[in-house]
Structure 1
Amino acid sequence: MSPSTSPRFFTEREVARHCTPGSCWVLLGTRVYDVTAFLRMHPGGEALIRSRAGKDLSGAMEGPPHRHSENARRWMEQYYIGELDRGTGTEEVQTLRERKNASERTNGNTTEKQPEDEDDDMSPYSRCSPVDLDKDLVDWRKPLAWQVGHLGEKYDAWVHQPVDRPIRLFGNPFLEASTKTSWYWVPVVWFPIVFYFSWYCYTTLAQGSTRVAVTSDFSVPVHKSVFPVLFLLGWFLWSFLEYCIHRFVFHMKPPAHNYYLITLHFLLHGQHHKSPFDGSRLVFPPGLASIVVVLFYLVLHSVLPDIVGLSVFVGGLCGYVVYDMIHYYLHYGSPKRGTYLYGLKAYHVKHHFEHQKSGFGITTTFWDHPFNTVIPDEKF
């Protein structure tokens, strides 16, 4: 809702009626929010919001168990739809209502009120977007890729204030389409390769002819039973690579004067932090991922014997696929409270909304500990 638009007013009974997955409203004081589009995104799961449908969330926002960040509060404003009219009315609500009625009399507005259950023609993005198209630092009506580099020192603060609206990076339709990937393409493209090379490595080792030279005169045989160990070693190495890429590449702070590095950062990861629930950009396009995959293979091939290096590589490749799938699930899934994935989801959402300089682990928080980037526990 635009700041210049007069708010709509709802009774407590009207708000309470919206308590289903298809229409869920909540309150913050006298402010009414339609959080239907946010249900599946909520890190605590849908049930926590639905159990509070039609109620005031002010206490829950303050915690415990979780005190919501300023970014989370800004995010909430995307779903603002109007004000609560309790009948007796607070001074603020009464004043707003008088202004609205006066405005309608001035403009000769005689349009009948829409039935409350009638579907809004506007999309959730246009209805809930907090972006002021006339005052934002970039022009959202145009592709953003070539604009963000001009933000300079304002870029870092701007990109870490997330919004729930789609981002268009490029004007060219083909180039724009190449930056979007549906989640299922990751297993479709990479799992057949994982399965093939896993079988190839295992059957090759099963022949019993593979040996690793320790010295020029001494070598040790590599049995097929070692394959699972090599596979898991590759997975473990990927988890370290995942951490390093996320921390040192995706979260580099580009110099404020360097247009090209700012643009590169936005294309690689900044756009994900600006619009963290854009489902078409939550996994790597296979073409871009193949660059990292090939480099990973070449490094292993250069330091390890052929079949041993390939066994480690295929484990790392499987780790990458699982990483991309988990990352997508952390944004759109609703894991059961108390499970490992529930903890990861809460951890990752904190990284997006409050602790952008820590919490770089995605599939595991293991590497955050030795590198001292663990998101601190909340204290009340």
Structure 2
Amino acid sequence: MTSQEFPVTFDGVQYDLQRFLRDHPGGFNTLKHYKGKSIVSAMQKFEHSASAYHMLSDFRVDSSVRGVSANGRIITSEEQGRDVKEIAFLEELEGKLDWSKPILGQLHLVAAHYDRWVNSAVYRPCRLFASPLLEALTYTPWYLVPLVWVPVILYLGCTQFAQHVFSEDPTLRISPLQYLCHVALGMAIWSAVEYSLHRWVFHLDPGRSVALIKLHFIIHGLHHKVPFDDYRQVFPPVPAAALAYGFYLFFSCIFSYPLIKMTGGLIGYLTYDMIHCYVHRGSPKAGSYLYSMKRYHSNHHFVNHDKAFGISSKVWDLVFRTIVQVRKLNFNLQWCHDMT
């Protein structure tokens, strides 16, 4: 055993969780006591989903070890606490795909059970396109989002402030407080848009249409299938700009001072995308708002896929009754990036 290994066993089969330590939704401190030990009781105690057992096969040390089927399914005599039939089905479904090749062109193989497949996360690289150029366009480092949108927000905010607060035209002039109210309203509008997009667009059921399944997978399904991919946690700037422009055209027909409200909307969007990235990759302090939202969003990914749609806020989940109560623990979770 080396310092670069974190071996655990599951019914006599060995797995190395070293790669998963930072990403484990339940924190590093719930894993650290099991180094070199069996995790059967821990997975049952913390009520892991079928998806969690399914993903465990990505960390097995030797796929030929007795106790694991040819397609990676865990075979165990200790059936209590997990849906063995569902785990077997997920593994058989996964076995239809060749993960060394672009996944987008293979989705017809799982179309009949796409919803179950896409919500059973894996911990492995996912290539969408054969074309290196198209594939490169699917990756977005988190810092690119503020790099693009902060200057846009500053430009819009400053120019609109100058145009309206310091305007010599009394028909255009507004007070600084009115300006801030329009910005705040734009942020509130974004909050509703955030929830609506996530619930009714990103989680739209594509049925068995392969074309719709591919579209859904590109827009959001990919994120649920490989939720730990660092470069697919935020919205790429180009489609985000197209979406923002579309919303601007729509709201300019409804609201006054649309560009001021657009400034607030972009502030809300930027906050949302950074929070989303952080609740996946960050280590929020126990008791903080982001700690609560990290656990809440993990619940959406791994337990309640049809609820907990709020990322930056739970307000609209409360309004539309899609709120979930995250399990209370008698200890605090710790997501430590330094595993030495």
User: Which one has a bigger Cα radius of gyration?
Assistant: 1
* C-alpha deviation, 1:358, in angstroms: 0.9
Matched, 1:161 2:105: no
C-alpha RMSD of the superposition = 2.9
8 Å Cα contact 1:45/1:335 also seen in 2: no
Query: Which of 14, 25, 28 is the equivalent residue of 1:46?
Result: 28
* C-alpha deviation, 1:58, in angstroms: 3.9
Residue correspondence of structure 1 range 46-125 to structure 2 within 5 A: 46-63=28-45, 66-81=46-61
The Cα offsets for residues 340-372 of structure 1, whole Å up to 9 and x where unpaired, read as 111111111111112111111111111111111
* C-alpha deviation, 1:321, in angstroms: 1.3
Q: Structure 1 CA distance, aligned partners of 2:255 and 2:33?
A: 55
Q: Which moved more, 1:22-31 or 1:268-277?
A: 22-31
Q: Structure 1 CA distance, aligned partners of 2:169 and 2:192?
A: 28
Going from structure 1 to structure 2, the CA distance change for 1:166 and 1:341 (only over 3 Å counts) comes to same
Matched, 1:369 2:318: yes
2:186 equivalent in structure 1? 234
1:115 equivalent in structure 2? none
Matched, 1:304 2:255: yes
Q: Structure 1 CA distance, aligned partners of 2:192 and 2:304?
A: 20
Q: Structure 2 CA distance, aligned partners of 1:238 and 1:135?
A: 37
Going from structure 1 to structure 2, the CA distance change for 1:274 and 1:173 (only over 3 Å counts) comes to same
8 Å Cα contact 1:359/1:374 also seen in 2: yes
Amino acid at match of 1:34: D
Please give the secondary structure, in 1, of the residue aligned with 2:189. Answer: helix
- Return 5+ residue gaps in structure 2 as ranges: 68-89, 330-340
Query: Which of 181, 191, 216 is the equivalent residue of 2:140?
Result: 181
2:226 equivalent in structure 1? 275
Amino acid at match of 1:158: W
Please give the secondary structure, in 2, of the residue aligned with 1:374. Answer: coil
Q: Structure 1 CA distance, aligned partners of 2:252 and 2:93?
A: 54
Please give the secondary structure, in 1, of the residue aligned with 2:6. Answer: strand
8 Å Cα contact 2:97/2:109 also seen in 1: no
8 Å Cα contact 2:296/2:326 also seen in 1: no
Identity %: 38
2:268 equivalent in structure 1? 319
Matched, 1:136 2:116: no
Aligned length: 306
8 Å Cα contact 1:27/1:54 also seen in 2: yes
Query: Which of 149, 158, 164 is the equivalent residue of 1:205?
Result: 164
1:347 equivalent in structure 2? 296
Going from structure 1 to structure 2, the CA distance change for 1:147 and 1:57 (only over 3 Å counts) comes to closer
Q: Structure 1 CA distance, aligned partners of 2:58 and 2:150?
A: 38
Query: Which of 293, 307, 310 is the equivalent residue of 2:244?
Result: 293
1:34 equivalent in structure 2? 16
Q: Structure 1 CA distance, aligned partners of 2:151 and 2:94?
A: 48
8 Å Cα contact 1:27/1:56 also seen in 2: yes
Amino acid at match of 1:47: N
Going from structure 1 to structure 2, the CA distance change for 1:223 and 1:276 (only over 3 Å counts) comes to same
Length-normalised TM-score, structure 2:
0.80
Going from structure 1 to structure 2, the CA distance change for 1:141 and 1:197 (only over 3 Å counts) comes to same
Q: Structure 2 CA distance, aligned partners of 1:132 and 1:375?
A: 28
The Cα offsets for residues 3-30 of structure 1, whole Å up to 9 and x where unpaired, read as xxxxxxxxxxx5xxx6x6x443344464
Please give the secondary structure, in 2, of the residue aligned with 1:43. Answer: coil
Q: Structure 2 CA distance, aligned partners of 1:194 and 1:33?
A: 47
* C-alpha deviation, 1:260, in angstroms: 1.0
8 Å Cα contact 1:283/1:324 also seen in 2: yes
Q: Structure 1 CA distance, aligned partners of 2:314 and 2:158?
A: 30
Length-normalised TM-score, structure 1:
0.73
Please give the secondary structure, in 1, of the residue aligned with 2:7. Answer: strand
* C-alpha deviation, 1:228, in angstroms: 2.3
The Cα offsets for residues 258-286 of structure 1, whole Å up to 9 and x where unpaired, read as 22111111111111111111112111111
Amino acid at match of 2:151: P
Q: Structure 2 CA distance, aligned partners of 1:334 and 1:47?
A: 12
8 Å Cα contact 2:299/2:326 also seen in 1: no
Q: Structure 1 CA distance, aligned partners of 2:106 and 2:264?
A: 40
8 Å Cα contact 2:223/2:233 also seen in 1: yes
2:285 equivalent in structure 1? 336
Amino acid at match of 2:319: P
Going from structure 1 to structure 2, the CA distance change for 1:57 and 1:136 (only over 3 Å counts) comes to closer
